[in-house]
Amino acid sequence: MRHTVSHLFFLVLAAAVCLTTASPARAQASPPHEVRGLIVKLKPGATGLVQRESAQGARMRLAAVAQGAEVAADDSRPVGQGHQLLRLRQGLQGEALARAVRRLRQHPEVASVEPDVRVQRLATPNDPDFALRQFHLQTPGPGQLSAINMPAAWDITTGNPVTVAVLDTGVRFAHPELQGRLLPGYDFVAEVDMANDGNGRDADATDPGDWVTAAETLRPLFQGCDAENSSWHGTFIAGQLAALSNNSAGVAGLNWNGRVLPVRISGKCGAMLSDILDGIRWAAGLPVDGVPANPTPARIINLSFGGDQPCSASYQDVIDEITAAGALLVVAAGNDAGPARRPADCAGVLAVGAVNAAGTKTSYSNVGSTIGLSAPGGTSAQPLYSLINDGLTGPVNDTFGQRAGTSFSTPLAAGVASLMLSANPALSPAQLLARIRAGTRPFPANATLPNCSASFAGSCNCTTSTCGSGLLDGLLALQQAVSPMAVIAAVDSPTPGAVVPLDGRASSAAPGSSLVGYAWMQVSGPAVTLRNATQALASVTLPAQADRFVFRLVVTDNAGRSAEQTLSVNSVGANSPPPATSSTGSGGGGGGAWSVGWGLGLWALALVLAARRWQALRRAKKA
Phi and psi at residue 373, to the nearest 5°: -165, 175
* Three-state SS at 48: strand
Sequence-ordered list of residues with C-beta below 8 angstroms from that of 227, at least 6 positions apart, any chain: 212, 213, 214, 216, 217
- Vertex 294: Cα angle to 290 and 298 (nearest 5): 135
> Which residues are bridge partners to 75 per DSSP?
87
Q: Find, among 316, 324, 417, 327, the residue nearest to 372 by Cα.
A: 417
The active-site residue out of 168, 197, 398, 557 is 168
The active-site residue out of 175, 197, 233, 386 is 233
Report the chain's terminal Cα–Cα distance, integer Å: 16
> Rounded distance, CA 331 to CA 563, Å?
28
Alpha helices in 424-499 (DSSP H): 429-438, 474-481
Count of alpha carbons within 13 Å of 324, Cβ hemisphere only? 8
**For residue 491, what are the CA distances in angstroms to 214, 485, 519, 552?**
59, 19, 18, 14
**Residue 503 parent element (H or E):** strand 499-503
* Three-state SS at 142: coil
Q: Is 136 a catalytic residue?
A: no
> Rounded distance, CA 422 to CA 426, Å?
10
State the Cα torsion 38-39-41-47 to the nearest 10°.
80
Give the burial class of 602: count Cβ atoms within 10 A of its Cβ; 0-12 exposed, 13-18 middle, 19 or more buried.
Answer: middle
Pairing of strands 73-78, 83-92: antiparallel
Q: What is the DSSP letter of 417?
A: H
Distance from the Cα of residue 382 to its chain's centroid: 26
Other Cβ atoms less than 10 A from the Cβ of 465: the count is 16
Q: Is 168 a catalytic residue?
A: yes
**Residue 83 parent element (H or E):** strand 83-92
* Three-state SS at 568: strand
Q: Find, among 350, 337, 343, the residue nearest to 309 by Cα.
A: 343
Q: What is the DSSP letter of 432?
A: H
Sequence-ordered list of residues with C-beta below 8 angstroms from that of 593, at least 6 positions apart, any chain: 22, 23, 24, 25
Distance from the Cα of residue 475 to its chain's centroid: 24
- Buried (b) or exposed (e) across 14-42, using 16+ Cβ within 10 A? eebeebbeeeeeeebebbebbbbbbbbbb
The active-site residue out of 230, 266, 304, 407 is 407
Instruction: Report yes or no: 205 and 185 within 8 Å, Cβ to Cβ.
Output: yes
Phi and psi at residue 24, to the nearest 5°: -75, -10
Other Cβ atoms less than 10 A from the Cβ of 100: the count is 23
Sequence-ordered list of residues with C-beta below 8 angstroms from that of 295, at least 6 positions apart, any chain: none
Q: Is 210 a catalytic residue?
A: no
Other Cβ atoms less than 10 A from the Cβ of 93: the count is 18
Pairing of strands 548-557, 515-524: antiparallel
Q: Which residues are catalytic?
A: 168, 233, 407
